[in-house]
């Protein structure tokens, strides 16, 4: 469905994409993972034919460099933050439907898909961030394209809106759409992707399953666990036997956990009949003196 | 080769036209221009110097000076702000991510604004024309209509220049500054510069004429005067020379000149827009 060969993008002396090569099959959901500046957005824009590039990109059998408009007709694009004209939701959809040569009847279908029917008369400026992203998704779906490309689609949304949006994307993938999205949020990747392409400095650093991502990239967090004093030493023993890095800290134990498997130590202790009295997940590394 | 699907162009044109007609600036400009045109026609005493005219022709002559200030300002600023504004607020990036080409976007936007200007000028001149007809001062209506057509040509030329500025400018403020600078250059500095140079360096009359006719505003002025009288005496020695040198060929020549000013900057804007590095977005290297 999508094939990139030696995809290279230069901005003067800066190499934004460095000979990327990958392929994506129909119906797959693939995440482009990487920090800011890794090349995720540039890669998506090259796939859309919005940027000139070296190498070759084929989307649904269309050579993007030669026929970028035709390629965009088979891709529904959702940016991180879509900027709409000062129109109502319905007028916005009518405008883009005409541009995409989609039937007028498609408008009610996509409004229903993204649950915006009751907001169709509202001005776009009156919508919340989550609703605007859903409108962008509705625009992307107007001509029923086989591919959806989403550029950090939930980056600016609150937690509930993130969940709702991810759920919509999941449903679309299950319905057969090929999904390509960029993200630096592990939970989003774990929820939506079947495969992850890890970009760093414009290069394809790693290709793996979402479950392997945290381990491969050593994405750690710290779990602080409180157990009864009677289990204090056995807790550390069990965790160390299972190769966890941990250290006691007075009445609690710090355990280093992988993103994506934060529950594992708790389940392990439970299986060993060690009751956990409380726990806390730390976003940042604990103070140095508390670490091994 | 530039790919253009006129259905897509028409969709964008219709949207631009609808946006412009809803825009309060359009309403303000139309009312202001219509009001001034009406006032000039009602005053009766033209700003046409020594020329003895009446009815439509007199009003047409009076309107030349109004048009020379007003229309370039509107055309240049509307054109300059259009693409730059959309680029800055992100709507252009989003539009270009749809199945459209950059040429279709630029042409659609240009045609939308061109139709807007056309509507505005028709309302303004139409109001004055109807007022004159009601007063029973209908003189040479053909000359009046011809001047309106020239006015529209001037508006399109200024819009083309504005779009060229908009294509080159990175930000809205820069585009507006560029448009206003061009307006000052064409309306004041160009005229005064040529007059000053002619006096100081004693330029030959044909050189003065050539330099004058580089300016699209002067082309419009010459063409407009020729629609209401046979010679260009009001423009001084250069005008007399032009009449003697080119005779009946002068009017078609300046009209072609105006057309060139409409087509060349638009062509340049189209070329630049379709060839410049795509997506000059704030987030282009993420």
Shortest CA distance to A48 belongs to which of A186, A158, A170, A140?
A: A140
CA distance B105 to chain A (A): 11
CA of B283: which chain A residue's CA is closest?
A: A41
CB neighbour list of residue B19: distance below 8 Å, 6 or more residues apart:
A85, A86, B112
For residue B129, what pLDDT is reported? 78
Percent of chain A whose predicted confidence (pLDDT) is above 70: 96
For residue B236, what pLDDT is reported? 67
Residues of chain A found within 8 Å of residue B8, distances taken between Cβ atoms: 99
Q: Does the pLDDT at position B189 exceed 70?
A: yes
What is the residue whose two structure tokens read 């580089």? B214
Shortest CA distance to A27 belongs to which of A188, A195, A153, A198?
A: A195
Residues of chain A found within 8 Å of residue B279, distances taken between Cβ atoms: 45, 50-51
Residues of chain B found within 8 Å of residue A50, distances taken between Cβ atoms: 96-97, 278-279
CA A29, chain centre distance (Å): 10
Which residue segments constitute the domains of chain A, with CATH numbers given? 2-216 (3.40.50.300), 221-290 (3.30.70.120)
Poorest-pLDDT segment among A7-21, A97-111, A194-208, B35-49:
B35-49
Poorest-pLDDT segment among A102-106, A173-177, B124-128, B200-204:
B200-204
Identify any residues that bridge with B278 across adjacent strands, giving them in sequence order: none
Helix (H) or strand (E) holding B158: helix B141-168
Half-sphere exposure of B58 (CA within 13 A, CB side): 18
For A124-178, the pLDDT digits (tens) are 999 998 899 999 999 999 999 999 999 998 887 888 888 888 999 999 999 999 9
Q: Does the pLDDT at position B137 exceed 70?
A: no
For A218-240, the pLDDT digits (tens) are 777 889 999 998 899 899 999 99
Poorest-pLDDT segment among A84-93, A99-108, B275-284:
B275-284
Residues of chain B found within 8 Å of residue A52, distances taken between Cβ atoms: 277-278
Q: Does the pLDDT at position A291 exceed 60?
A: no
CA dihedral B180, B181, B184, B190 (to 10 degrees): -150
Q: ipTM value, please give it.
A: 0.82
Confidence of residue B190 (pLDDT cuts 50, 70, 90): low
| Phi, psi (deg, nearest 5) at residue B245 | -70, -45
| Phi, psi (deg, nearest 5) at residue A285 | -65, 140
For A45-98, the pLDDT digits (tens) are 999 999 999 999 999 999 999 999 999 999 999 999 899 999 999 999 999 999
> Between β-strands A75-78 and A147-151, what pairing exists: parallel, antiparallel or unpaired?
parallel
CA distance A290 to chain B (A): 36
A83 with B96: Cβ contact below 8 A? no
From the list A36, A39, A99, which residue is nearest B11 (CB)? A99
Shortest CA distance to A170 belongs to which of A29, A76, A44, A4?
A: A29
A83 with B90: Cβ contact below 8 A? yes
CA distance A262 to chain B (A): 29
Tokens of A80: 């991180």
**Distance separating alpha carbons of residues B145 and B63, to the nearest angstrom:** 12
Confidence of residue B56 (pLDDT cuts 50, 70, 90): low
For residue B284, what pLDDT is reported? 42
Asked if residues A48 and A72 have their Cβ atoms less than 8 Å apart, the reply is yes
Strand arrangement, sheet containing A220-227:
A246-249, A252-258, A220-227, A276-282
B94 with A84: Cβ contact below 8 A? yes
Render the burial of A7-45: b for 16+ CB within 10 Å, e for the rest. Answer: bebeeeeeebbbebebebeeebbbbbbbeeebbbbbbbb
- Partner A, chain B 67-106, Cβ-Cβ below 8 Å: 89-91, 93-94, 96-101
Alpha helices in chain A (DSSP H): 40-47, 68-73, 89-99, 105-113, 129-141, 159-174, 186-192, 210-217, 232-241, 264-271
* CB proximity A208 to B under 8 Å: no
What is the residue whose two structure tokens read 């394209």? A145
- From the CA atom positions of chain B, what is the Rg in Å? 20
A101 with B12: Cβ contact below 8 A? no
**Distance separating alpha carbons of residues B57 and B53, to the nearest angstrom:** 6
CA dihedral B276, B279, B281, B283 (to 10 degrees): -130
CA of A36: which chain B residue's CA is closest?
A: B286
A51 with B277: Cβ contact below 8 A? yes
Identify any residues that bridge with A148 across adjacent strands, giving them in sequence order: A76, A179
CA A114, chain centre distance (Å): 18
CA distance B101 to chain A (A): 6
For A195-207, the pLDDT digits (tens) are 999 999 999 998 9
CB neighbour list of residue B157: distance below 8 Å, 6 or more residues apart:
B75, B216, B258, B261, B262, B265
| Phi, psi (deg, nearest 5) at residue A4 | -115, 130
Confidence of residue B127 (pLDDT cuts 50, 70, 90): confident
Average pLDDT, chain B: 82
Best mutation target among A14, A99, A149 (most B Cβ atoms within 10 Å) is A99
Please give the residue that has the higher pLDDT: either B163 or B31: B163
B286 with A45: Cβ contact below 8 A? no
**Distance separating alpha carbons of residues B271 and B29, to the nearest angstrom:** 30
What is the residue whose two structure tokens read 């600023």? B77
- From the CA atom positions of chain A, what is the Rg in Å? 23
Best mutation target among B9, B83, B99 (most A Cβ atoms within 10 Å) is B99
A72 with B8: Cβ contact below 8 A? no
Shortest CA distance to B77 belongs to which of B39, B113, B27?
A: B113
Shortest CA distance to B155 belongs to which of B268, B259, B24, B36?
A: B259
pTM of the predicted protein model: 0.83
What is the residue whose two structure tokens read 């585009």? B175
**DSSP state letter for B64:** H
Asked if residues B29 and B74 have their Cβ atoms less than 8 Å apart, the reply is yes
For B217-266, the pLDDT digits (tens) are 988 988 888 877 766 666 666 677 777 777 778 888 889 999 999 999 99
From the list B8, B89, B285, which residue is nearest A42 (CB)? B285
Helix, strand, coil distribution of chain B in percent, nearest 5: 80, 0, 20
| A58: three-class secondary structure by DSSP | strand
Positive/negative CA dihedral, B13, B17, B18, B20: positive
B15 with A85: Cβ contact below 8 A? yes
CA distance A81 to chain B (A): 9
Size of interface A-B (CB pairs under 8 A): 75
For residue B211, what pLDDT is reported? 77
Strands of B143-222, DSSP E: none
Asked if residues B62 and B47 have their Cβ atoms less than 8 Å apart, the reply is yes
Residues of chain A found within 8 Å of residue B99, distances taken between Cβ atoms: 69-70, 72-73, 99-100, 143
Shortest CA distance to B281 belongs to which of A130, A82, A54?
A: A82
* CB proximity A36 to B under 8 Å: yes
Average pLDDT, chain A: 89
| Phi, psi (deg, nearest 5) at residue A111 | -60, -40
């Amino acid at each position: 469905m999508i094939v990139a060969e030696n995809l290279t993008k230069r901005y003067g002396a800066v190499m934004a994409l460095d000979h990327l090569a990958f392929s994506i099959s129909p119906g797959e959901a693939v995440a482009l993972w990487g920090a800011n500046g890794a090349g995720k957005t540039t890669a998506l824009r090259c796939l859309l034919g919005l940027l000139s590039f070296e190498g070759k990109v084929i989307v649904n059998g269309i050579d993007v460099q030669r026929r970028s408009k035709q390629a965009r007709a088979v891709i529904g694009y959702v940016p991180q933050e879509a900027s709409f004209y000062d129109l109502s939701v319905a007028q916005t959809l009518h405008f883009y439907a005409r541009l995409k040569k989609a039937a007028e009847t498609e408008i009610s279908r996509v409004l229903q898909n993204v649950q915006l029917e009751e907001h169709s008369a509202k001005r776009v400026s009156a919508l919340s961030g989550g609703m605007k992203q859903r409108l962008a998704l509705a625009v992307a779906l107007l001509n029923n394209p086989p591919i959806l490309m989403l550029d950090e689609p939930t980056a600016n949304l609150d937690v509930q809106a993130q969940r709702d949006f991810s759920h919509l994307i999941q449903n679309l993938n299950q319905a057969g759409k090929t999904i390509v999205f960029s993200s630096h949020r592990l939970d989003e990747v774990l929820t939506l992707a079947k495969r992850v392409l890890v970009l760093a400095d414009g290069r394809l650093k790693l290709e793996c399953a979402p479950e392997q991502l945290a381990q491969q990239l050593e994405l750690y967090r710290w779990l602080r666990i409180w157990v009864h004093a009677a289990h204090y030493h056995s807790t550390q023993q069990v965790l160390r036997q299972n190769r966890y890095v941990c250290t006691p800290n007075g009445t609690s134990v710090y355990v280093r956990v992988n993103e994506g498997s934060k529950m594992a130590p708790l389940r392990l202790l439970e299986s060993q009949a060690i009751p956990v009295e409380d726990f806390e997940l730390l976003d940042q590394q604990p103070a140095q003196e508390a670490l091994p | 080769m530039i790919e253009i699907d006129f259905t897509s162009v028409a969709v964008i044109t219709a949207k631009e036209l609808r946006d412009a007609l809803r825009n309060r600036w359009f309403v303000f400009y139309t009312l202001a221009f219509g009001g001034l045109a009406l006032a000039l026609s009602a005053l009766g005493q033209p700003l046409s110097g020594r020329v003895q005219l009446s009815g439509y022709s007199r009003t047409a002559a009076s309107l030349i000076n109004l048009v020379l200030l007003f229309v370039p300002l509107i055309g240049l600023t509307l054109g300059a702000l259009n693409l730059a504004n959309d680029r800055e607020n992100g709507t252009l990036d989003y539009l270009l991510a749809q199945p459209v080409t950059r040429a279709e976007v630029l042409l659609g936007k240009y045609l939308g604004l061109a139709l807007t200007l056309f509507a505005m000028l028709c309302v303004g001149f139409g109001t004055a024309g109807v007022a004159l007809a009601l007063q029973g001062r209908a003189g040479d209506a053909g000359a009046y209509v011809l001047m309106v057509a020239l006015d529209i040509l001037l508006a399109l030329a200024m819009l083309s220049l504005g779009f060229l500025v908009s294509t080159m400018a990175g930000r809205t403020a820069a585009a507006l500054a560029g448009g206003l600078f061009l307006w000052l250059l064409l309306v004041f500095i160009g005229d005064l510069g040529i007059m000053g140079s002619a006096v100081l360096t004693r330029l030959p009359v044909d050189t003065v004429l050539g330099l004058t006719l580089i300016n699209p505003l002067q082309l419009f002025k010459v063409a407009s005067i020729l629609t209401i009288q046979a010679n260009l005496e009001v423009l001084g020695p250069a005008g007399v020379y032009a009449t003697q040198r080119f005779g009946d060929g002068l009017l078609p020549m300046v009209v072609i000149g105006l057309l060139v000013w409409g087509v060349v900057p638009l062509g340049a804007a189209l070329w630049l827009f379709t060839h410049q590095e795509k997506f000059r977005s704030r987030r282009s290297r993420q």
